Every structure is written in C-alpha cells, then in structure tokens.
Amino acid sequence: DWRMRTTRAHGTMRIYTVAGLSARNGDLWKPNALVYVHDPYSGLDQDMLIGAVTYVDDEGGYKTRISVVPPDTYDLTGDNDRVKKGTRRSGLINGKAG
C-alpha cells in the first residue's frame, strides 16, 4: 500500500511558487502541513500535504517553492489517523503549477 501511494504521489505532485516566505496566517511554509489548493488548471480544489519547501531569495524578492502531494501519500497506518474535516490548515495556495 505504501509503495502504491508514494508512486501515485510522484505522478500527482505539483510545485507552486508563492510570494514571500509565509502563509496568510504568518507562519512559515513547512513540510507536513496541510494547505488548501485551488488550481483549476490542474483540477485541484482540495487539501494537499506539503511534501517539500524551498525558500528562494532573488532580485525579485523572497519566494517559496512548495511541493504538494495528496494527503494520504505518506499514510503508513491507514484510515485511523487521517485528518478529519475541519482541521486547521496552515495556508492557501491559489495559482498555477510551476
């Protein structure tokens, strides 16, 4: 099951570049946090799990590259510890895949 989920994650992973280093709530973007992704181009309108974060400083200012995967990608125990509806999210990603 784990192999199936991680293989699927590589096929469904999306990378977004957002301005700044933190989410709307002021917290830094961090791996293993849930974010809501609204991306009509990719057909995403759901909670996703941040798999990796890269902070970038260039002439345009600070940016963050965020890699997101389906929430069950690294689920090793099954349905028992899935995030329940209404759980606090760390931010919102709204845009196009980078």
Q: What pLDDT shows up at residue 31?
A: 92
Domain region containing 21: 2-94
Residues of the chain short of pLDDT 70, as ranges, are 5-6, 8-10, 74-91, 95-98
How many structural domains is the chain composed of? Answer: 1
How does pLDDT run across 5-25, given as a tens digit for each residue?
667 666 778 999 999 999 888
CATH number at residue 10: 2.30.300.10
Q: What pLDDT shows up at residue 61?
A: 94
DSSP letters for 30-96: -TT-EEEEEETTTTEEEEEEEEEEEEEEETTEEEEEEEEE-TTTT-SS-GGGPPPTTPPPSEEEES-
